[in-house]
Amino acid sequence: MKNINPAGAQVGRCAGGQVFTVRYIIFLLLIGSLLPGLCFAQAGQTGMAFLKIGVGTRAAGMGNAATAIVDDASALFWNPARITAIKGFDATFIHTNWFQDVSHEFIGIVAGNGVSAVGFGFTIMSVDGIERRTNTPSRQPLATFNAYDVVLSGSYARRITETVSAGITLKGLSEKILFETASGVAFDLGVTYQGLNQGLILAGTIRNIGPQMSFIREKFDLPREVRVGTGYKPPIDLFQDRVLISADISKYKGEPIRLNMGSEYTYQQRFSIMIGYQTRQDQSGFTTGFRAQFHPYRIDYAFVPFSAGLGDAHRFAIGIRW
């Protein structure tokens, strides 16, 4: 239930009589935490749901159909086996502007030689200046506080054969909301196959495998995901132009199957336009993006509209490969 206090701030009331601004409510919706003493908890619900939020700007522009085609440091999130596609060093910084000033940042770096690769990633989702109020209307809040979720990860991948690569990611997880904290560990497994048809790639991942976590005296499962995907580059080579098509099917524990589809057109290895579509998301179906590459640098942008009048998300990335 929403209220308007005299100061004009929208607030939401939760169990126990505590009242928080809409910014806080939206942050909880984004991270999907179990808050039995506050809001939104349901039987069988998983926690740490911010782990579902993808990190790749190119991936976002292609509807998050990235499991088989991601080729930069954002592969640390999507599929650790794909970091074997990186020869040399790749560093990526991604910033996402969510609604209500919620921010999502990712930094990843990968070193590979074409046979094996290692990578490290850091992800943080946060919101500052959340107002804490009571049921009694007032112009000034009782206090303000911050909330955040953090992931530290390390990945290793190797080509098992000329056509098959496998990878693993280990993750440390941390969450803080108001006075409460939670921490845990998880890991991801990934595999890719690129056979005789060099334009076709098949991939699969199992993400967020780990023990239950505790938050406010309640235990919850991590949002474990099984995901398979494919990417295909048609044999088109006109003035070094390139077309890429990708599709993913994913299933989170306790949720319906999701479908992600995307395509990308690259002009003379410098400029790319992406378009994608995804089902069963809070985000509306279509996404789009743009990439500009000037070796060794690249700049990415993606636009992701949301449903239910929540606004839009803008994702920016800067990368370098050397």
Query: Which residue in 5, 52, 284 sits closest to 186, CA to CA?
Result: 52
Domain definitions of the chain by residue range: 2-321
pLDDT digits (tens, 9 = 90+) for 74-129: 999 999 999 999 999 999 999 887 766 677 889 999 999 989 999 999 998 877 76
Q: Is the dihedral of CA 293, 117, 316, 236 positive or negative?
A: positive
CATH class of the domain comprising 2-321: mainly beta
pTM for the predicted model, two decimal places: 0.78
pLDDT digits (tens, 9 = 90+) for 20-47: 444 454 455 555 433 333 343 344 456 6
* Contact in structure between 199 and 235 (CB atoms under 8 Å): yes
**Six-digit token string for 322:** 């050397």
Q: Quick one: pLDDT at residue 310? A: 56
For 121-143, letters b (16+ CB in 10 Å) and e give bebbbbbeebbbbeeeeeeebee
pLDDT digits (tens, 9 = 90+) for 248-257: 999 988 788 8
**Six-digit token string for 195:** 């056979």
CA of 83: how far to CAs of 29, 236, 261, in Å?
31, 25, 21
